[in-house]
């Protein structure tokens, strides 16, 4: 699937672009499903809904990779010369970049894990943390969730630890299928690892504030 021009790949990988708009007659993407994008990797569709063109805000424009709403409208008018922002609609699509797609995989879409399964992974992570000496495994995962690509040297600098400790813990997280290494020798969360972190953060947000 070719959803984005290559000029936008870096912004998507960095997490700066998480929204796109499409002048489609019907939505071609399904919420909760992931799609492979050639030369980019996989994206997960978090929300896809039809909205008035006039509802697009300046903040939306920046999240979609444009300087302003005026730039989006200019782009839309190239696709539809008689565009009327007050009358026409478009599809507002929120997405999340998952990672580089390893060609050795089956290519099947990443399915969201159930809360029950994520709770089991959460308990397993807690057990690993209790046995960990030094940096906890959950701390490494949370730090990695901030960037789609993580060099081991950057993680070592952040945690101020030895190379052997970080290498050993990344290897264990890889065995748990929570992190993986891409062809550029960067570590990243797997879809399972990312869903686990989002699950843990969601549970923290639901705790009553003191």
Within 10 A of 82 (CB to CB), how many other CB atoms are there? 6
Question: pLDDT tens digits, residue range 48-78?
Answer: 999 999 999 999 999 999 999 999 999 999 9
Architecture per CATH, 115-206: Orthogonal Bundle (1.10)
CA triplet 62, 192, 175: central angle to 5 degrees? Answer: 130
Within 10 A of 89 (CB to CB), how many other CB atoms are there? 15
Q: What pLDDT score was predicted for residue 184? A: 64
Domain ranges of the chain: 6-99, 115-206
Give Cα separations from 42 to 26, 37, 45, 122 (angstroms): 22, 6, 10, 24
Question: pLDDT tens digits, residue range 77-106?
Answer: 999 999 999 999 999 999 988 765 444 444
CATH 2.30.130.30 holds for 6-99: yes
């Amino acid at each position: 699937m070719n959803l984005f021009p290559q000029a936008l790949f870096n912004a998507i990988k960095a997490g700066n672009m998480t929204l796109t708009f499409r002048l489609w007659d019907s939505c071609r993407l399904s919420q909760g499903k992931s799609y492979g994008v050639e030369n980019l990797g996989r994206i997960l569709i978090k929300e896809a809904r039809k909205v008035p063109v006039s509802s697009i805000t300046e903040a939306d424009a920046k999240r979609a990779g444009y300087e302003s709403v005026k730039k989006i409208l200019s782009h839309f008018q190239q696709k539809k010369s008689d565009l009327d922002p007050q009358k026409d609609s478009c599809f507002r699509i929120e997405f999340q970049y998952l990672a580089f797609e390893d060609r050795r995989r089956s290519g099947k879409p990443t399915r969201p894990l159930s809360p029950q399964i994520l709770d089991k992974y959460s308990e397993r992570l807690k057990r690993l943390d209790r046995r960990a000496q030094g940096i906890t495994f959950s701390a490494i995962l949370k730090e990695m969730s901030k960037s789609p690509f993580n060099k081991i040297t950057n993680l070592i600098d952040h945690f101020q630890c030895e190379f052997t400790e970080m290498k050993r813990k990344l290897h264990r997280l890889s065995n748990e299928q929570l992190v993986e290494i891409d062809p550029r020798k960067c570590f990243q969360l797997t879809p399972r690892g990312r869903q686990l972190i989002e699950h843990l953060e969601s549970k923290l947000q639901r705790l009553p504030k003191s």
